[in-house]
Structure 1
């Protein structure tokens, strides 16, 4: 049975020594657990995490006991009602996400289904391609992407080989090395770059055009995005900067959008945004937050929502291993699609 009998919160430690809330959802015959990540608040002290635990134990938990965990949309909408604000500023987006994902995990466990299949259904077979962080530089953070990927481990092999020949985060060196590594592995190995500070439009354009770059997350105004879309071919231009700051969701400005679940609140909110992104013919890419636990749900959510790619940090071993397990679970049904901009 999927009727919720108890909800328990506790403090969870994230990478980087940050704190968040972990939630257990117990049904009559199922169990779900999720530790929420934290993105842009490096000063989340343990007192804040304890406050979130109190919200779960004293307010949210008692309200949700007796609900059916399979009624995801109903529970997620009730979390908004409990919060009473427009942005989860009362109970916190991380608390809402922890409860929401734990509820889905509990319902999936009752049905003895993997989380990705519970979220996405029978025909969920297209594995998200990993963009794996390799280095951090002054102007950009650098990721490795295998465009003609055959196995999840192809990305790991490419990243390891890249780091063996490049010691410092230089775009020129990484570009040359990625082409060399790709030739040695028989794969199309390319770079992803995330802009960290404003740069002249011409410099950003030349950076993409003159190097082995297939993905960029720019930082700038609309003109930069328009120039990148017009001046590049086969490159993913990620519009997170415009979307977060100006609410722009428009294919004319960008063709990809990285989405961090922590910025949305609940699984239902995440599903709705991914659907809106797809309706604009923009590629949704699920992304880790800055501070994550070792929880393995993110690959399941990306696959269940049919996001073609997933952005992972260089220390995201648990999520990479889980993605590999999912590929094994799907067997011949599983497909890794060529990731083209």
Structure 2
């Protein structure tokens, strides 16, 4: 049976020594657990984590007892009703996400199917292209990706080769190292860039053209995005900045959008946004938050929601290995999604 019998909250320690809330959802014959990530560094994070646990134990948990854990949309809608605000500012987006994912895990556990299969259904066979953040300097965070990926581990091999071939963290050196890595491995290795400061339009265009760049997340006004889309071919222009600051969701401005589940709330909210993004012919990239637990759910969400790419931090070995396990589980049915700008 999938009826919820108990919901338990506790303090959880995330990467970087930050604190969040972890949720257990217990059904009559299944169990699900998830610790919510945090995307920022709130000064009162330990206080907020304790408050979230109290909310779960005293309000959310008792309200959800008796619900069928398979009724994901109903439960997610009820979490918004319990919160009573327009932005989950009462119970918190991290608490809502923790409860929502734990509910899905409990239902999948009862069904004895992997989370990705429970979310995506029988015909879930596509694997996202992994992108790895591996370095940063004053100007950029650097990402490695393999355009003609055959195995999930190819991107890890490419990252290792780039580090072996580069003497310092600088754009020109890493660009040359990525090309050398591609030659050594026999695959097409490229860099991705996340801007950390605003740059002039000409400088951004020149950077994309000159340094083996396949992906960029710019900072700037609408004009910058329009010029990047018009002036580049086969390059992913990530519109997270425009989406968050201007609420712009439009293929004319960008062709990719990194999505962090923690910024949305429930799984239903995540599902709806991914569908909206796809309807605009924009590639959704599921991305880790700044502070994460070792939970393995993120690759399952990317596969279940058929996201063409997933962005990991270099040290997220648990999640990378889980994506490899999912690929193994799918076997010959599995194929890596074509990820082209």
- Shorter-normalised TM range: over 0.9
Supply the distance in 1 between the matched residues of 2:186 and 2:329 (Cα, whole angstroms): 26
Supply the distance in 2 between the matched residues of 1:252 and 1:128 (Cα, whole angstroms): 24
Partner residue in 2 for 1:266: 266
5+ residue gaps, structure 1, are: none
Cα distance, 1:137 vs. partner?
1.1
Partner residue in 1 for 2:103: 103
Cα distance, 1:167 vs. partner?
3.5
Secondary structure in structure 2 of the residue aligned to 1:37: coil
Partner residue in 1 for 2:35: 35
Partner residue in 2 for 1:208: 208
Supply the distance in 1 between the matched residues of 2:288 and 2:48 (Cα, whole angstroms): 21
Partner residue in 2 for 1:289: 289
Give a deviation string over 1:118-177, Cα, whole Å, max 9, x none: 000111111111110110111110000001001111011000111112242211111111
Contact 1:148 1:339 in 2 (8 A): no
Partner residue in 2 for 1:317: 317
Partner residue in 2 for 1:82: 82
- After TM superposition, list the pairs within 5 Å mapping 1:152-231 onto structure 2: 152-231=152-231
Supply the distance in 2 between the matched residues of 1:257 and 1:222 (Cα, whole angstroms): 15
- When residues 167 and 35 of structure 1 are mapped into structure 2, their CA distance, relative to the original with a 3 A threshold, is farther
Give a deviation string over 1:248-287, Cα, whole Å, max 9, x none: 0000000000000000000000000000000001000000
Contact 2:165 2:181 in 1 (8 A): no
Supply the distance in 2 between the matched residues of 1:137 and 1:331 (Cα, whole angstroms): 39
Give a deviation string over 1:292-318, Cα, whole Å, max 9, x none: 000000000000000000011111110
Partner residue in 1 for 2:69: 69
Cα distance, 1:212 vs. partner?
0.5
Supply the distance in 1 between the matched residues of 2:266 and 2:98 (Cα, whole angstroms): 8
Cα distance, 1:44 vs. partner?
4.3
Contact 2:137 2:170 in 1 (8 A): yes
Cα distance, 1:42 vs. partner?
4.2
Supply the distance in 2 between the matched residues of 1:134 and 1:7 (Cα, whole angstroms): 37
Supply the distance in 1 between the matched residues of 2:338 and 2:191 (Cα, whole angstroms): 15
Supply the distance in 2 between the matched residues of 1:24 and 1:240 (Cα, whole angstroms): 31
Secondary structure in structure 2 of the residue aligned to 1:228: helix
Matched pairs, number: 341
Q: What's the Cα RMSD here? A: 0.7
Which TM-score applies when normalising by structure 2?
Answer: 0.99
5+ residue gaps, structure 2, are: none
Give a deviation string over 1:225-261, Cα, whole Å, max 9, x none: 0010011000000000000011000000000000000
Supply the distance in 2 between the matched residues of 1:281 and 1:220 (Cα, whole angstroms): 22
Cα distance, 1:47 vs. partner?
1.8
Contact 2:308 2:338 in 1 (8 A): no
Supply the distance in 2 between the matched residues of 1:132 and 1:109 (Cα, whole angstroms): 30
Partner residue in 2 for 1:52: 52
Which TM-score applies when normalising by structure 1?
Answer: 0.99
Supply the distance in 1 between the matched residues of 2:44 and 2:164 (Cα, whole angstroms): 35
Partner residue in 1 for 2:236: 236
